[in-house]
């Protein structure tokens, strides 16, 4: 059980972490059969193409979402039809309307236009779509089902010069009867490029939603630690006696929630409470603050033998940084073999506690 003060701290931390993470909106366009669903499931958590909820936003565009995954995918269809101009115009109107909204998480942030390598050609509708999208948002052309390029990517780049880049992707491994294998390729490059293109306020959301690159999750988590350490340093601008170390506890609880959100973990009061209850040993808030200090001092070179006295700003920053980096290191070890898996709160809490104990 948590101290009542910590219960409120956890609640506020979860709300703030989810608010800061926000959501990223991606337009996913391409003719039927180009492999958009396969691409979605290969890149994002939760098998979105099968298990996500879809709702129409225009005649030929539907929004795909799933609770707990901070991405909305706007799947555009109809480019293979004679009325593709109507499809493009309708989508343009939708983008412009969203752009007028005051909240950034309602805007369209990036577009992926999918063209199958099997087709070996770029249709007029695809050309018009890329030109329209590029005028409003960063646009990436994704060559799907990529097996043997034979100059097709270079040709696409010539035809669609306004695209930010053209990435060839093979989303799932294929093994044929004769033993020939086509490996997954291009997904990491697509994720890295998209991370560069989405606005700063949407980077944590994209890192959390994708399951291809653990490195992107770690990088965004480092920014959470840096920001939290700055806040902790400000809180300790005047010396804080160890008995009052609780002043930095809300910062560190918030940091745990923020890192968890950046990794795409199920950030909830139950999840963070389990983590805090295991890590911040002790019932009383003051005891929790002392426990953090005793656990972390040994992680900081030159501070490990410090006993009594006060926590100055520099030490507070070091403590918070050590705490956050230890949590990132814990999550990295748990996820390095499979960034898409979701360890339980209990598994994470146990591993984190072992990390803090130096085991």
Residue 308 has pLDDT above 60, yes or no: no
Distance between CA atoms of 102 and 294, rounded to whole angstroms?
46
Tell me: do 178 and 326 sit in the same domain.
no
What CATH number did the domain enclosing 170 receive? 3.40.50.300
Mean pLDDT over 165-183 rounds to 85
Q: How confident is the model at residue 202 (pLDDT cuts 50, 70, 90)?
A: very high
The verdict on residue 115 lying in a domain is yes
Strand partners, 62: 56, 75
Tell me: do 201 and 275 sit in the same domain.
no
Residue with tokens 């294929």: 174
Look at residue 309 in the predicted model and tell me its pLDDT: 39
The verdict on residue 73 lying in a domain is yes
Tell me: do 171 and 34 sit in the same domain.
yes
Residue with tokens 């909305």: 72
Instruction: Express each pLDDT in 204-213 by its tens digit.
Output: 999 999 999 9
Tell me: do 229 and 175 sit in the same domain.
no
Look at residue 242 in the predicted model and tell me its pLDDT: 43
* pLDDT more than 70, % of the chain: 84
The verdict on residue 16 lying in a domain is no
Final residue of a structural domain among 151, 182, 208: 208
Tell me: do 69 and 183 sit in the same domain.
yes
- What's the total number of domains in the chain? 2
Four-point Cα dihedral 35, 39, 41, 43, nearest 10: 180
Residue 147 has pLDDT above 50, yes or no: yes
Lowest mean pLDDT segment, chosen from 22-26, 73-77, 328-332: 73-77
Look at residue 250 in the predicted model and tell me its pLDDT: 86
The verdict on residue 13 lying in a domain is no
Range of the domain at 92: 22-208
Tell me: do 253 and 163 sit in the same domain.
no
Tell me: do 35 and 172 sit in the same domain.
yes
CB-CB contact of 183 with 200 (8 Å): no
Look at residue 359 in the predicted model and tell me its pLDDT: 62
The whole-model pTM stands at: 0.87
Look at residue 248 in the predicted model and tell me its pLDDT: 76
Tell me: do 152 and 71 sit in the same domain.
yes
Look at residue 287 in the predicted model and tell me its pLDDT: 35
- Mean pLDDT across the chain: 85
Tell me: do 241 and 326 sit in the same domain.
yes
Q: Which long-range contacts (CB under 8 A, 24 or more apart) does 183-187 make?
A: 184/42, 185/146, 186/142, 186/146, 187/42, 187/43, 187/212
- The length of the chain, given as a count of residues: 359
Q: Cα–chain-centroid distance for residue 121?
A: 33
Q: Which long-range contacts (CB under 8 A, 24 or more apart) does 240-244 make?
A: 240/310, 240/311, 240/312, 240/316, 241/310, 241/311, 242/289, 242/290, 242/293, 242/308, 242/309, 242/310, 242/311, 243/286, 243/290, 244/286, 244/289
Distance between CA atoms of 205 and 149, rounded to whole angstroms?
32
Tell me: do 223 and 142 sit in the same domain.
no
Final residue of a structural domain among 160, 175, 208: 208
Look at residue 51 in the predicted model and tell me its pLDDT: 85
Residue with tokens 């890329």: 130
The verdict on residue 11 lying in a domain is no
Q: How confident is the model at residue 249 (pLDDT cuts 50, 70, 90)?
A: confident
Look at residue 56 in the predicted model and tell me its pLDDT: 85
Final residue of a structural domain among 173, 190, 208: 208
Distance between CA atoms of 137 and 29, rounded to whole angstroms?
13
Look at residue 312 in the predicted model and tell me its pLDDT: 63
Residue 304 has pLDDT above 50, yes or no: no
Look at residue 281 in the predicted model and tell me its pLDDT: 52
Lowest mean pLDDT segment, chosen from 2-11, 177-186, 202-211: 2-11
The verdict on residue 219 lying in a domain is yes
Q: How confident is the model at residue 19 (pLDDT cuts 50, 70, 90)?
A: very high
Residue 160 has pLDDT above 80, yes or no: yes
The verdict on residue 125 lying in a domain is yes
Residue 45 has pLDDT above 90, yes or no: yes
Mean pLDDT over 259-273 rounds to 93
Tell me: do 186 and 300 sit in the same domain.
no
Look at residue 305 in the predicted model and tell me its pLDDT: 43
Four-point Cα dihedral 34, 35, 39, 42, nearest 10: -160
Residue 327 has pLDDT above 50, yes or no: yes
Tell me: do 164 and 51 sit in the same domain.
yes
Residue 86: how many CB atoms within 10 A of its CB?
Answer: 14
The verdict on residue 332 lying in a domain is yes
């Amino acid at each position: 059980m948590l101290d009542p003060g910590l219960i409120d701290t956890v609640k506020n931390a979860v709300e703030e972490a989810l608010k800061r993470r926000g959501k990223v909106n991606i337009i996913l366009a391409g003719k039927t059969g180009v492999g958009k669903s396969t691409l979605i499931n290969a890149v994002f958590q939760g098998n979105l193409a099968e298990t996500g909820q879809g709702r129409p936003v225009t005649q030929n565009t539907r929004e795909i979402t799933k609770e707990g995954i901070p991405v909305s995918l706007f799947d555009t269809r109809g480019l293979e039809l004679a009325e593709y101009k109507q499809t493009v115009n309708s989508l343009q109107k939708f983008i412009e309307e969203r752009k007028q909204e005051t909240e950034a998480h309602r805007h369209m942030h990036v577009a992926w236009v999918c063209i199958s390598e099997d087709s070996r050609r770029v249709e007029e509708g695809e050309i018009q779509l890329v030109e329209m999208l590029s005028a409003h948002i960063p646009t990436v052309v994704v060559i799907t089902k990529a097996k043997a390029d034979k100059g097709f990517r270079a040709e696409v780049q010539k035809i669609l010069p306004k695209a930010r880049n053209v990435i060839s992707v093979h989303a799932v491994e294929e093994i044929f009867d004769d033993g020939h294998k086509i490996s997954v390729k291009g997904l990491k490059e697509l994720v890295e490029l998209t991370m560069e293109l989405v606005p700063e306020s949407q980077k944590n959301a994209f890192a959390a939603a994708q399951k291809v690159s653990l490195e992107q999750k770690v990088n965004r988590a480092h920014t959470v630690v840096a920001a939290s350490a700055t806040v902790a340093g400000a809180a300790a601008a005047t010396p804080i006696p160890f008995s009052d170390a609780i002043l930095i506890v809300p910062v560190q609880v918030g940091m745990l929630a923020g890192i968890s959100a950046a990794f795409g973990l199920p950030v909830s009061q139950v999840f963070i409470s389990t983590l805090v209850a295991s890590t911040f040993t002790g019932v009383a808030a003051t005891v929790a603050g002392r426990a953090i200090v005793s656990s972390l001092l040994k992680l900081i070179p030159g501070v490990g033998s410090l006993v009594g006295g006060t926590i100055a700003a520099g030490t507070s920053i070091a403590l918070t940084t050590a705490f956050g980096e230890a949590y990132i290191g814990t999550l990295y070890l748990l996820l390095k073999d499979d960034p898409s898996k979701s360890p339980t709160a209990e598994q994470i809490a146990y591993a984190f506690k072992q990390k803090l104990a130096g085991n």
